[in-house]
């Protein structure tokens, strides 16, 4: 296997050098002996070697063929023998080799001193001295040539070489030369030659090789693990080719162990493995060779080996092949590819998980197979549809690309529509291997449950809690599925999500569809068409175990048969829902009653029978007034009937609900009572939010000792909570009701709320004061008092809430004073006081020592902020928007990264801004005149955790010229460079200020909206970071909400003649709505975004960049003032009637620009310091110097 692999590698590599090795020797000395032996040994290792086969030398000069061979070789082996110097042919070869080495600075010269002392060669003594005496006579009129030969001999003999007298017998010298060549060859083979047309593989190969720790002498196994078709075998093959070329004496790659093991048995594979490692075919005739057997092991102890076992499916297979592997020769390595993590866990903790291809890699791979190049001939949307379907799986991309190759646009459409219904068989067969490898029917069943019934919104804990009722070993089963690469455990803010690749999900669903032609005879139903068929026609049978219906995908109204569930004895999971995400906006369910176009109707109600095996029952918008009579819910884990028409859950007595953990009846507006829950001891979560008819919470709730979540928000008729015992101190989250009577100043907080409460939401309540007893809630983390219209005072004891992290007091229209903070609050990080009549903040606010976000927007009575604000060293975000009477800001904390000042019309100046301030919005601060200083930090000192860069001074028309053209223009350059340095997405960037000049950094400028730029070779090299744009725009017409104005940029990269390689559209939204004077707008597009548009930087030679700008209008949605405005970018309309683009500049940004900016910044900071020393604090300002502009000027072909 080693030899065949090496052979295939050599034939696959097409490099500029034709030969690996060039042999230079004196024919009469070594041709028929040493040189021939060496040539044979090199050839046996499949090393391409040039050996001149001319028996006689002709003429004084080497032939053109020989010279060409020298230049086409990577390594030159020069055999200095007794009579080498007597051949002008050999001396010319030597001189040519050294000249070639000097000119190319590549290649390796390996001198071999065969039967001659190196010093004799170096000093031209002995036979070399005699030879040169003759040469000097012969070439007395050309002594320069003789001097050249002497210098060449001296130079070559000074190189590190091998002396034949150190190796006995002679075969050891041959072996050593071959080993040295093998070690040196890989550095001359570029990654591109190894990878060929393989996409997205370079970094993965490097990471695997790092895991192998080639330099260490221990013996270990490294696993390559991942789903089917993801490229494990390909990765292992590339790593094998790279390493087997030089690093190991014995190598073997066993392909498809799973199938070979099943077809031929362990003994056959062992023979194959050992015979190739030891290069001994006699092993094939042995009865049962083992790695650990003494005769074999003794030989392997002295042979450093590389073994690749591809597609190992079980630990038995691994043990049968490499039992006792740790006794192999030091430095030996074993690579195992598998879909089953359990195979690896028993033998190693070194494994590499192969990730899916990213979007750009997927596009490139698909286009390579679909078109033979990166330029598409089919609509981009259709290409994107295929790549979305494949979702980064290389096998799927290659199979689908090859299948669609040379097909018409119409055939593509047909094929894509078919894929949605009938998956590609070749892809499915590969993926199905993992499913068939599950030897436990229960685990297969759980896989099908997840594939058919649970979407990506479910966490692992959630799925396990539901399925545990029917399978107590579900936790183990899910771990097996993860190990088998059928699902993934992905960390998210709300828990570990169970993620399944769409192709694997489709494979699971295909397995279920193959169970029976009639949907009612299948185990699981998820397709709306199939479910509606079963429910209408009552064709469900005992085969049905699960139903999951997304009502948003229904295309008609459905009348459910009254006996539709009567034969579904084994139904475990029942889901009818109107949104995928269980954590959707709380108003969504309520809205869906009116907005959901098609509905399920139960004109005759339901028969009393529902499966007593139900573990999960969800029916959003449930249309009946109660559940069927005599329903048995003894195995139910969760009951979810959101937005239902329920008046009561059931019409009979107490239900035994021993395993019930969750009830969600939110927005069931007709629900007026809840049943006795005394037989539901494990109930953890109750949600009655929006149940506006609910009058009473039964006293049985107080005995639910495991209850951790109770939501009674907007239960407007529920006024009395006295029946809930105060023993329920263990609640973690509580949402209380609108009309809860909290206005009594005599009441003690700890008498109303449990003292261990962590979250207290009293929004929109009638509370009049926060009393001194608030300090008893020592575990309180979050306190919300938004829009409490009667709240007049807050006790100073609030500072004693030692765990408080968030305090929100927005819209409290009677709160004129914020309390003194009498002692430090160590944990409070968020304070919100928006829309309140507060007149001032106390100086004691400095005691909010951990505060990170301060929001006091729309506080129209505030004129000044306390000077102690600068002492809040952790304060990062300050929102002081629409404080119309604010006149002045105090010094700001150095940590401030974000400052929002929009619509503060009386604000005239800003204090010195922190250099770390990356977000500053001062839209329509119409009195603002100056920014005293805003130093830019050095870019190489920045870390990547800074928030997005948005600077907007739209409408600040009184800003002086120094602020506009020096401070803000320079800051714009800094923000662009900092964003591109860390690859920050351009969506996070915004920069706008009044002005009519394009900064000089934008070296390609036009007075129109279009520009064509001719690009030089290698412009898109490794140092390229992205493109920056700058325009001067004038908005001459007011634009009304919800419209907003923006700049669209169409960017095309082309080759000559005019072949489109990449097209990218970007959109920069303008920050103001009013008509105004000229404004400068900047934005950028980072390299990754361009790559995702389909441009392969390294494989395409772009020679032209064509840019065109346009004004466009889009639509925005209403949002709160304290969050960024979202907008729908699906549709834009012409915006030319609202403004015009006057100037346009482009800047190709490289890494060198970062260095130049830092040099310029240091210079300016030094000048400022010197001027301050000289003028006692006067501030000088300096522009961006011409000498820091990008050094490589791209030639502008035409400005249109």
Q: Which residues are catalytic?
A: 93
Q: Is omega for the bond preceding 39 within 30 degrees of 0, making it cis?
A: no
In the block, tokens 């441009």 appear at: 1095
| CA nearest to 918, candidates 896, 897, 935, 938 | 897
Are the C-beta atoms of 247 and 214 separated by less than 8 Å?
yes
- DSSP bridge pairs for 496: 491
d(CA 280, CA 291): 14
DSSP for residue 856? -
Burial of 420 (0-12, 13-18, 19+ CB in 10 A): exposed
| CA nearest to 602, candidates 645, 544, 648, 545 | 645
897: left (phi over 0), alpha (psi -120 to 50) or beta: alpha
Are the C-beta atoms of 1062 and 1012 separated by less than 8 Å?
no
The three-state secondary structure class of 118 is helix
Tokens read off for 281: 């075919």
> Which residues, 6+ apart, have CB-to-CB distance to 1076 below 8 Å?
954, 955, 957, 994, 1034, 1035
d(CA 1097, CA 1075): 41
* Ordered DSSP codes for 283-313: GGGSSS--TTSHHHHHHHTTS-EEEEE-S--
In the block, tokens 């570990």 appear at: 496
Tokens read off for 468: 């545990």
d(CA 382, CA 370): 12
* Ordered DSSP codes for 493-554: TTEEEEE--HHHHHHHHHHHHTT-SSGGGSSEE--HHHHHHHHHHT---TT--EEEEEGGG-
Q: Which contacts (CB < 8 Å, 24+ apart) does range 938-944 have?
A: 938/1158, 938/1161, 938/1162, 939/974, 939/977, 939/978, 939/981, 939/1154, 939/1157, 939/1158, 940/1154, 940/1155, 940/1158, 942/978, 942/981, 942/982, 944/982, 944/984
| Longest CA span, the chain | 125
CA dihedral (998, 999, 1002, 1006) in degrees, to 10, reads 20
The three-state secondary structure class of 16 is coil
d(CA 652, CA 673): 13
Are the C-beta atoms of 545 and 570 separated by less than 8 Å?
yes
Taking residue 723's Cβ as centre, other Cβ atoms within 10 Å add up to 12
SS3 content of the chain, % helix, strand, coil (to 5): 35, 20, 50
| CA nearest to 574, candidates 638, 658, 499, 649 | 638
Q: Per DSSP, which regions of 764-873 are E strands?
A: 769-770, 782-784, 793-794, 806-808, 830-832, 853-855
In the block, tokens 């926060």 appear at: 770
Are the C-beta atoms of 1116 and 1153 separated by less than 8 Å?
no
């Amino acid at each position: 296997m080693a030899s065949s692999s090496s052979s295939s590698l050599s034939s696959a590599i097409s490099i500029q050098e034709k030969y690996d090795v060039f042999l230079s020797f004196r024919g009469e000395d070594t041709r028929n002996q040493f040189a021939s032996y060496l040539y044979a040994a090199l050839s046996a290792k499949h090393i391409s070697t040039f050996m001149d086969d001319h028996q006689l030398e002709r003429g004084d000069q080497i032939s053109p063929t020989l010279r060409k061979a020298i230049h086409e070789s990577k390594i030159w082996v020069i055999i200095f023998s007794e009579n080498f110097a007597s051949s002008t042919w050999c001396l010319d070869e030597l001189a040519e080799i050294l000249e070639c080495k000097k000119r190319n600075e590549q290649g390796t010269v390996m001198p071999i001193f065969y039967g001659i002392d190196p010093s004799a060669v170096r000093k031209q003594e002995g036979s070399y001295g005699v030879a040169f005496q003759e040469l000097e006579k012969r070439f007395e009129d050309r002594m320069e040539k003789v001097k050249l030969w002497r210098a060449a001999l001296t130079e070559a003999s000074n190189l590190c070489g091998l002396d034949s007298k150190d190796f006995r017998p002679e075969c050891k010298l041959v072996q050593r030369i071959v080993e040295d060549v093998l070690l040196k060859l890989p550095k001359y083979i570029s990654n591109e030659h190894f990878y060929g047309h393989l996409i997205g593989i370079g970094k993965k190969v490097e990471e695997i090789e790092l895991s192998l720790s080639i330099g260490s002498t221990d013996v270990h196994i490294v696993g390559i693990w991942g789903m089917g078709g993801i490229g494990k075998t390909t990765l292992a093959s590339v790593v094998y080719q790279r390493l087997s070329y030089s690093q190991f004496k014995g190598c073997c790659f066993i392909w498809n162990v799973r199938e070979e093991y099943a077809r031929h048995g362990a003994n056959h594979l062992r023979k194959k493995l050992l015979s190739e490692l030891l290069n001994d075919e006699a092993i094939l005739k042995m009865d049962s060779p083992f790695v650990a057997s003494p005769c074999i092991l003794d030989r392997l102890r002295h042979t450093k080996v590389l073994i690749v076992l591809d597609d190992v499916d079980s630990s038995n297979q691994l043990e049968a092949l490499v039992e006792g592997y740790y006794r192999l020769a030091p430095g030996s390595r074993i690579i195992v590819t598998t879909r089953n993590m359990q195979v690896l866990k028993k033998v190693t903790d070194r494994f590499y998980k192969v990730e899916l291809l990213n979007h750009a890699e997927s596009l490139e791979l698909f286009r390579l197979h679909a078109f033979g190049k990166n330029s598409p001939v089919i609509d981009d949307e259709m290409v994107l549809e295929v790549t979305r379907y494949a979702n980064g799986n290389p096998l799927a991309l290659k199979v689908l690309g090859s299948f669609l190759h040379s097909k018409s646009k119409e055939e593509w459409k047909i094929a894509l529509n078919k894929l949605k219904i009938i998956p590609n068989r070749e892809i499915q067969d590969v993926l199905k291997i993992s499913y068939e490898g599950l030897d436990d029917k229960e685990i297969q069943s759980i896989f099908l449950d997840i594939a058919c019934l649970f979407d990506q919104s479910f966490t692992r804990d959630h799925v396990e809690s539901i399925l545990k009722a029917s399978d107590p070993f579900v936790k183990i089963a899910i771990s097996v599925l993860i190990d088998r690469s059928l699902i993934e455990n992905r960390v998210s803010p709300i828990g570990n999500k169970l993620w399944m690749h769409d192709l694997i999900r489709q494979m699971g669903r295909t397995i279920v569809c193959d169970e029976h032609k009639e949907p009612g005879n299948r185990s699981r139903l998820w397709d709306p068409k199939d479910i509606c068929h079963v429910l209408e026609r009552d064709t469900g049978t005992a085969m049905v175990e699960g139903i999951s219906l997304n009502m948003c995908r229904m295309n008609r109204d459905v009348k459910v048969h009254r006996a539709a569930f009567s034969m579904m004895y084994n139904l475990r999971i029942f889901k009818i829902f109107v949104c995928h995400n269980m954590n959707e906006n709380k108003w969504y369910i309520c809205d869906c009653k009116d907005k959901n176009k098609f509905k399920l109707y139960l004109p005759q109600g339901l028969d009393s029978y529902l499966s007593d095996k139900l573990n999960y029952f969800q029916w959003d918008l449930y249309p009946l007034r109660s559940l069927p009579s005599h329903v048995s819910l003894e195995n139910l884990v969760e009951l979810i009937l959101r937005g239902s028409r329920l008046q009561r859950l059931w019409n009979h007595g107490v239900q035994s609900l021993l395993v019930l953990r969750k009830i969600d009846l939110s927005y069931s507006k007709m629900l007026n009572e809840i049943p006795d829950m005394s037989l539901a001891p494990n109930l953890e979560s109750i949600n009655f939010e929006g149940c506006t008819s609910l009058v009473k919470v039964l006293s049985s709730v107080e005995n639910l000792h495991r209850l951790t979540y109770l939501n009674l928000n907007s239960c407007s008729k529920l006024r009395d909570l006295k029946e809930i015992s105060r023993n329920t101190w263990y609640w973690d989250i509580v949402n209380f009701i609108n009309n809860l009577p909290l206005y009594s100043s005599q009441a003690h907080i700890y008498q109303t709320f449990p003292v261990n409460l962590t979250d207290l939401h009293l929004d929109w309540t009638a509370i009049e004061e926060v009393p001194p007893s608030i300090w008893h809630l020592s575990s309180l983390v979050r306190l919300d008092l938004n829009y409490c219209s009667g709240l007049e005072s807050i006790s100073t004891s609030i500072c004693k809430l030692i765990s408080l992290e968030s305090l929100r007091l927005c819209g409290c229209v009677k709160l004129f004073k914020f309390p003194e903070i009498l002692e430090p609050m160590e944990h409070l990080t968020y304070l919100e006081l928006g829309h309140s009549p507060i007149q001032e903040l106390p100086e004691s606010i400095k005691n909010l020592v951990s505060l990170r976000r301060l929001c006091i927007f729309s506080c129209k009575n505030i004129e000044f902020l306390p000077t102690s604000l600068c002492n809040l060293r952790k304060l990062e975000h300050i929102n002081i928007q629409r404080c119309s009477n604010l006149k002045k800001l105090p010094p700001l904390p150095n940590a401030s990264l974000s400052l929002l000042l929009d619509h503060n019309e009386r604000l005239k100046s800003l204090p010195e801004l922190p250099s770390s301030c990356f977000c500053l919005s001062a839209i329509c601060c119409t009195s603002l005149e100056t920014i005293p200083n805003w130093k830019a930090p050095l870019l190489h000192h920045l870390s990547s955790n800074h928030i997005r860069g948005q600077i907007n001074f739209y409408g600040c028309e009184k800003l002086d010229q120094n602020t506009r053209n020096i401070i803000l223009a320079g800051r714009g350059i800094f923000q662009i460079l900092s964003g591109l340095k860390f690859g920050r997405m351009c969506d996070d960037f915004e920069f706008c200020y009044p002005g009519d000049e394009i900064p000089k950094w934008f070296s390609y400028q036009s007075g129109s909206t279009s520009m064509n730029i001719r690009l030089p070779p290698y412009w898109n090299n490794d140092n390229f970071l992205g493109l920056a744009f700058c325009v001067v725009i004038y908005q001459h017409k007011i634009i009304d909400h919800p419209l907003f104005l923006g700049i669209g940029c169409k960017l095309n990269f082309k080759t000559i003649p005019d072949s489109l390689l990449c097209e990218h559209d970007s959109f920069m939204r303008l920050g103001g709505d009013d008509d105004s004077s000229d404004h400068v707008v900047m934005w950028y597009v980072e390299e990754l975004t361009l790559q995702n548009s389909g441009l392969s930087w390294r494989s395409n030679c772009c020679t032209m960049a064509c840019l065109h700008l346009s004004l466009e209008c889009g639509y925005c949605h209403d949002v709160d003032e304290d969050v960024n405005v979202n907008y729908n970018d699906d549709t834009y309309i012409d915006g030319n009637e609202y403004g015009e683009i006057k100037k346009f500049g482009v800047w190709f940004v490289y890494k060198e620009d970062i260095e130049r900016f830092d040099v310029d910044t240091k210079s300016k900071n030094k000048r400022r310091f010197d001027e301050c020393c000289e003028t006692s604090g006067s501030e000088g300002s300096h522009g961006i110097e011409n000498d820091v502009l990008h050094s490589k000027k791209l030639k502008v072909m035409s400005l249109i």
